[in-house]
């Protein structure tokens, strides 16, 4: 075996070792979670990610229970590999949606969009479902672990869609050295395998990737939507502006267009109606969520890239072409192996 071939073999073994905990938790070949993107992360892409060795996740979003029931069944018809479901904690039918996941014996559920109720976590776990939650701070991470979360995702503001205020790199430094009880997956701005390896070596068990998969061949997104991603650079993906700090709205990162600008008008209208007593805070926040869901569908499904929402992470600049999902996954893994192999080739052997 040549020296380079030997280095590659060693690098592959090292990568497997680095994300072994994540692989075992997910039941997959690679510890790569597909980011749950509304209208994008549906049966075709989810099954393709799982079939490629990753872990696909259905984005339930605003789906009603009957729709989720159909989506899980349709996904299972396309893959015999593990996949999960992302549920939004503020969904008014959360309990029914959890019931659908329990009925289908889904292996993993991701609870997103807010701090989940402890009894929601317990309900899923009682039925043998592993629960993954988002942790924006170390304090919240510890609270979620005490509440029974089986794994965490820490997502930085480089991500697409709803984002927090802190970068992925800072979150990783704040949380990874201190959380050892459960696997932690890092998300936000990861577009190449070198970044994946960096976070694994910091203590992550795997990563979550969304933006890179938008331009997968199997993704049902309109070609206009995909071409907008291919043409965009990192600085084109910008967060929405919060109008009133007394009316908290989770920022959304998307490619700048007319829909992004129109969000300002929507916020002003909703805030005014809330202050006039015409709607409660939760209803007002849900209306804003519905705006994004509708605008996203307009872009993803209808191809209206000017008036629809182009949610994208800053890694969008690394999306260069439409590729098969398996090719994207293998490219990420290959880049990770290459950086480890090159390091082994450069570093002198320890006597």
At 124 the pLDDT is 98
Are 121 and 97 spatial neighbours (Cβ–Cβ below 8 Å)? no
- 305, part of any domain: no
Q: How many CB atoms lie within 10 A of CB 137?
A: 14
CATH assignment at residue 148: 3.20.20.70
Residue 176 sits in the same domain as residue 279: no
Residue 228 sits in the same domain as residue 93: no
Are 160 and 237 spatial neighbours (Cβ–Cβ below 8 Å)? yes
Residue 29 sits in the same domain as residue 134: yes
At 350 the pLDDT is 47
- Neighbouring residues of 198: CB distance < 8 A, sequence distance ≥ 6: none
Query: What percentage of the chain has pLDDT greater than the value 70?
Result: 95
At 268 the pLDDT is 85
Residue 168 sits in the same domain as residue 241: no
Residue 40 sits in the same domain as residue 187: yes
Main-chain phi, psi angles of 266, to 5 degrees:
-60, -45
- This prediction's pTM: 0.93
- Alpha helix (H) residue ranges in the chain: 3-18, 20-26, 43-51, 65-76, 94-103, 118-126, 138-147, 168-175, 193-201, 211-214, 223-231, 258-275, 281-300, 325-346
Residue 237 sits in the same domain as residue 151: no
Are 171 and 190 spatial neighbours (Cβ–Cβ below 8 Å)? no
- 348, part of any domain: no
Tens-place pLDDT, residues 274-309: 888 998 877 887 787 777 778 899 999 999 999 999
Residue 155 sits in the same domain as residue 180: yes
Residue 84 sits in the same domain as residue 184: yes
Q: Which residue range is the domain that position 278 belongs to?
A: 223-300
Calculate the average pLDDT of the chain.
93
Residue 182 sits in the same domain as residue 283: no
Tokens at 322, concatenated:
């439409």
> Is the backbone of residue 312 left (phi > 0), alpha (psi -120 to 50) or beta?
beta
Residue 292 sits in the same domain as residue 200: no
Residue 253 sits in the same domain as residue 162: no
Give the mean model confidence (pLDDT) for residues 255-272: 85
How many domains would you assign to the chain?
Answer: 2
- 100, part of any domain: yes
pLDDT at 91 over 70: yes
Q: How many CB atoms lie within 10 A of CB 6?
A: 13
Residue 115 sits in the same domain as residue 204: yes
């Amino acid at each position: 075996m040549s020296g380079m071939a030997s280095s590659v073999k060693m690098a592959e073994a090292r990568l497997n070792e680095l994300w072994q905990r994540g692989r075992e938790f997910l039941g997959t070949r690679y510890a790569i979670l597909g980011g749950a993107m509304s209208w994008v992360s549906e049966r075709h892409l989810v099954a393709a990610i799982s079939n490629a060795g990753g872990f696909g996740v259905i984005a339930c979003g605003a789906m009603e229970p009957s729709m989720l029931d159909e989506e899980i069944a349709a996904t299972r018809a396309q893959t015999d590999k593990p996949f999960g479901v992302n549920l939004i904690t503020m969904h008014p039918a959360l309990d029914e949606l959890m019931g659908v996941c329990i009925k289908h014996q889904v292996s993993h559920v991701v609870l997103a969009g807010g701090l989940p109720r402890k009894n929601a976590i317990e309900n899923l776990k009682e039925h043998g479902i592993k629960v993954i939650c988002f942790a924006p701070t170390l304090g919240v991470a510890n609270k979620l672990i005490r509440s029974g979360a089986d794994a965490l995702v820490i997502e930085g503001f480089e991500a697409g869609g709803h984002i927090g205020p802190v970068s992925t790199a800072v979150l990783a430094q704040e949380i990874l050295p201190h959380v050892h009880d459960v696997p932690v997956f890092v998300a936000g701005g990861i577009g190449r395998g070198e970044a994946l390896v960096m976070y694994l070596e910091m203590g992550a068990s795997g990563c979550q990737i969304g933006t890179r998969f938008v331009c997968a061949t199997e993704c049902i997104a309109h070609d206009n939507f995909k071409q907008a991603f291919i043409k965009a650079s990192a600085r084109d993906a910008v967060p929405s502006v919060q109008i009133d700090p007394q009316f908290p709205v989770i920022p959304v990162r998307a490619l700048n267009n007319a829909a992004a600008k129109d969000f300002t008008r929507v916020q002003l209208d909703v805030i005014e109606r809330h202050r006039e007593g015409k709607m409660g805070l939760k209803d007002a926040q849900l209306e804003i969520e519905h705006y994004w869901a509708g605008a996203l569908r307009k872009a993803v499904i209808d191809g209206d890239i000017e008036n629809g929402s182009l949610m994208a992470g800053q890694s969008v600049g690394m999306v260069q072409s439409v590729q098969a999902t398996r090719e994207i996954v293998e490219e990420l893994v290959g880049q990770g192996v290459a950086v480890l192999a090159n390091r082994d080739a450069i570093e002198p052997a320890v006597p």
